[in-house]
Amino acid sequence: MAGTNIQLPDTFRKDLLFDYLNRSKDEISFTTEADFVFKLFEFEGQHILTQLEFTEDSIKIHFPDLAPSSKEEIKIIAYVKEWFDLETDLEEFYAIAKHDKILAPLIHQFRGLRLVKVPDLFEAASWSIIGQQINLPFAYQCKRRLIEHIGNGKEITGQKHFAFPKPEEVLKITDEDFVKMKFSRQKVKYLRHLSEAILERKIEKSNLQTLTYDEAERKLLELKGIGKWSANYILMRCLGFKEAFPAADVGLHNALKKSLQLDHKPNLETVLKFAKPWKGWESYATFYLWQSLLN
């Protein structure tokens, strides 16, 4: 079949995207290989492997295994555009950042880096819970163990591809198995509560996206285990609120310390002061600061 193409925006850097995608070997919800990204989608129990080929000015979408229906293909295309935030005009952000002493060097270094999203709400919220209070490598290990335990995937030409577990699958996991996966009891409680809230449609992505930032944040905070940090993480990485700001984030604080060569990490009040000029683009500022920690 004729491969589908997604046009890349002018402001786009593939190498920076891949730096982010390749940040952990334990990330198995997708895989990369040279200029390719592989992602397994699931539609009504049917697995569709999608291979994204990054060329100079576009992403070519291939389906090495089963071909999707046209309806499914439309969903995949929408997912990819959202995943890599291809439709955001970054010029306003760069205009603001140019005059900000913290962001100016970062946009010089990372111009063309786009916020990598987690388009699925359950996956994004689960990840925010898993990542709480533990270091990132350990969080990635926990996530990998969860994905492997559910094992919702398919082996295609010698490579195993996984889809992220669904809430009904997470609800079937026993306490004992969670312990084996090194999940704390608190996190197990939070994940189960989240799974139920999603299944009961107490929270829905499409609904949250119709709300204002404040309303959506408040709605997320109703969930057990979702505090201000997690809510803003989800608003930023899943729901596309550009003003979302996980202000208490340890990584953000470390990045600010490094960037400004501070002796100590800044306190919350100081962080909020730094962030004042970033108004409306806090999510991108955060993402660029995170990226500055990679090397």
Question: Using the rule CB under 7 A, is 290 a contact of DNA?
Answer: yes
Among the residue ranges 39-47, 160-168, 208-216, 217-225, the one whose residues contact DNA (CB under 7 A): 217-225
Residue given tokens 């990819």 in the structure block: 80
Site map for DNA, 161-180, x if CB under 7 A? Answer: ------------------x-
Q: Give the angle 283-288-290 at the CA atoms, nearest 5°.
A: 95
Query: Binding residue for DNA (CB under 7 A) from 9, 64, 119, 227?
Result: 227
Question: Using the rule CB under 7 A, is 230 a contact of DNA?
Answer: yes
Q: Are 287 and 232 in contact, with CB atoms under 8 Å apart? A: no
Q: Is 249 a catalytic residue?
A: yes
CA atoms of 43 and 46, how far apart (whole Å): 5
Query: Binding residue for DNA (CB under 7 A) from 5, 152, 184, 270?
Result: 184
Among the residue ranges 92-100, 130-138, 195-203, 274-282, the one whose residues contact DNA (CB under 7 A): 130-138
Sheet (strand 36-43) strand order: 4-7, 58-62, 46-54, 36-43, 31-33
User: 223 φ, ψ to 5°?
Assistant: -75, 140
The 8-class DSSP code of residue 152 comes to: -
From 85, 100, 120, 249, active-site residue: 249
Among the residue ranges 38-46, 57-65, 105-113, 133-141, the one whose residues contact DNA (CB under 7 A): 133-141
CA atoms of 260 and 101, how far apart (whole Å): 9
Query: Binding residue for DNA (CB under 7 A) from 80, 223, 239, 275?
Result: 223
Cβ neighbours around 262 below 10 Å, total: 12
Query: Binding residue for DNA (CB under 7 A) from 26, 86, 265, 271?
Result: 265
Residue 117 beta carbon to DNA: minimum distance, rounded to whole angstroms: 11
